[in-house]
């Protein structure tokens, strides 16, 4: 009888050890998901977008992303990822961050405004476009918008975040969820499949 009890307890503790290992593995798997590929607090599903304001394909993607966000009532998390060979995209991102300080919606409206005028913008006239946008929205635009470099640091932080994903091109687009099992995010390689990927993520 004592032997049977000892064997039972051994099996019980072995099972506990296996469960603990599995729990540790699951926690590790969950924490392995880059925080950038999680929806904002309170959202089940979201679109995460890394973009460059001078990128022609980012301009083409923007209306589709906005439409999908409105259709499904899900948030879009936009990240700056200015590419080094674009001559004014970093400065445009800093300006967008300035408008973000007034409201995030104003900053995103500026980003879309830049996309709508992208073909006409140059390093020399970018400031003029920003001044026009500021005047139309009754916002003061200081002569030096980022005297301490804090806004530039935010842009660079976004870019470094993108490198950890890693991002290799713009736009890079993900549909992400807060689920803990299966695949919590998927890259949108073919944008014609964006709605189908959102549908799939919402059902899971």
pLDDT digits (tens, 9 = 90+) for 37-77: 999 999 999 999 999 999 999 999 999 999 999 999 999 99
pLDDT digits (tens, 9 = 90+) for 168-189: 999 999 999 998 878 899 999 9
Which 3-state string (H, E, C) describes the chain? CHHHHHHHHHHHHHHHHHHHHHHHHHHHHHHCCCHHHCCCCCCCEEEEEEECCCCHHHHHHHHHHHHHHHHHCCCEEEEECCCCCCCCHHHHHHHHHHHHCCCHHHHHHHHHHHHHCHHHCCCCCHHHHHHHHHHHCCCCCCCCCCCCCHHHHHHHHHHHHHHHCCCCCCCEEEEEECCCCCCCEEECCCHHHHHHHHHHHHHC
Q: To the nearest whole percent, how much of the chain has pLDDT over 90?
A: 80
Q: Which residue has the higher pLDDT, 23 or 124?
A: 124
Confidence of residue 125 (pLDDT cuts 50, 70, 90): very high
Query: Model's pTM, two decimal places?
Result: 0.82
Confidence of residue 97 (pLDDT cuts 50, 70, 90): very high
Q: Which residue has the higher pLDDT, 11 or 105?
A: 105
């Amino acid at each position: 009888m004592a032997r049977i009890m000892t064997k039972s307890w051994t099996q019980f503790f072995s099972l506990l050890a296996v469960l603990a290992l599995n729990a540790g593995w699951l926690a590790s798997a969950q924490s392995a998901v880059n925080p950038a590929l999680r929806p904002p607090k309170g959202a089940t599903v979201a679109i995460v977008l890394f973009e460059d304001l001078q990128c022609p394909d980012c301009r083409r993607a923007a209306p589709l992303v906005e439409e999908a966000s409105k259709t499904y009532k899900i948030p879009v998390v936009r990240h700056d990822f200015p590419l080094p060979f674009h001559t004014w995209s970093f400065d445009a991102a800093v300006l967008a961050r300035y408008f973000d300080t007034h409201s995030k919606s104003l900053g995103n409206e500026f980003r879309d405004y830049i996309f709508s005028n992208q073909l006409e913008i140059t390093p020399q006239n970018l400031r003029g476009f920003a001044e026009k946008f500021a005047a139309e929205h009754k916002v003061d635009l200081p002569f030096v918008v980022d005297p301490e470099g804090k806004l530039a640091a935010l842009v660079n932080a976004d870019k470094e975040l993108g490198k950890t994903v890693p991002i290799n091109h713009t736009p890079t687009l993900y549909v992400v969820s807060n689920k803990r099992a299966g695949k919590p995010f998927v890259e949108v390689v073919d944008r014609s499949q964006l709605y189908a990927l959102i549908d799939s993520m919402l059902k899971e």
